[in-house]
Amino acid sequence: MKKIVIAVLSLAISQAFANPSSWIEQNKLVGEIGGWRVYSKDQVSRESPANQNVFTLNQAIERALNQQLDWTNYLRGSESTSDYYLLTPAQRSALQKRSSIIYETTKSYYELVALKEKLIHMEDVLDAVEAASELSARMYKVGNINELALLKQNKALYKKRLEYKALQGKYLEAKERLIQRMNFDSRDVRVDVDARLPEPPKEQRKLSAKELKAIGLGDINNPESVKTRSTARLSYEGYLEKYQGVKSYKEEILPTQKKISEENLLRYNGMLIDVFHLLEDVETQSKTVMDYIDVNTAFLIQSARLDKDLMDVQMDFSNINVR
């Protein structure tokens, strides 16, 4: 991709000096570099879309449960019961362990997927910055830009390379955490996770009447029970806050950034800005994308945490609200 980007940039600049009408002809090609298509949720991933070897979240959870759950005391299907207090202490403990395993596995899995998604996006951004730096060097040699502009572009490249290396390091750390949680060895290691996080739901989760009653203050002041209910209430508030955050990014911030990028492309077509100004938009797009991935990751993990906390509060034997 890097060579294609360099060729497009070179052609765009050279023809722009020689023939103003070429700006419009370069519209689509330049858009591949500086336009919104650098990142788009409906863009086909550079990963194989039909990869049958992807290690899914459900597979990760199934493996973790098989290896870590107390199958001696776990009562199959007990997570669906409406009266947790009827379970024996050992059965409740096993069920709580089950929800904890699912939460921790989900957290590790989504953290790795998020970093993989960031890396795929960052590779495109780095390609564009490298292309711009190489083109800057060529333009400097023929006197089209001064040394200050060249140095600024080189600085941007050095910083982007460092960001990419740091991201690779974080990805490797997350991969090792998943390997530890899955208890993988050389015979069965699988870390080829999904390339993108799932989209957030269209509607936020609403608690059932029983769940609302379970997390309420109630009439009992047992310290552990009070703490468990308080944790669940905070967990639900955290879920609502993170849902609103990811919804805002998906429905407001990302579309707004798309329009800004399209406007920059129009300004380029009108010869109001050059290719380098268009490439500056890549940095803004990149930050917006990274922020969206972060808020989506936080929401997905909080959603799993809420499931765990609601399970804990409903299995609190001293919480009379759940009886």
Are the C-beta atoms of residues 167 and 118 closer than 8 Å to each other? yes
Average pLDDT, the chain: 82
Task: For residue range 143-187, list pLDDT tens digits in order.
Answer: 888 899 889 889 989 999 999 999 999 999 999 999 999 998 877
Judge whether residue 2 has pLDDT over 80.
no
| pTM score | 0.83
Query: Closest Cα to residue 193, out of 122, 124, 116?
Result: 116
Name all domains of the chain by residue range, CATH numbers in brackets. 2-322 (1.20.1600)
How confident is the model at residue 200, as a pLDDT?
Answer: 93
Are the C-beta atoms of residues 319 and 87 closer than 8 Å to each other? no
CA atoms of 64 and 310, how far apart (whole Å): 21
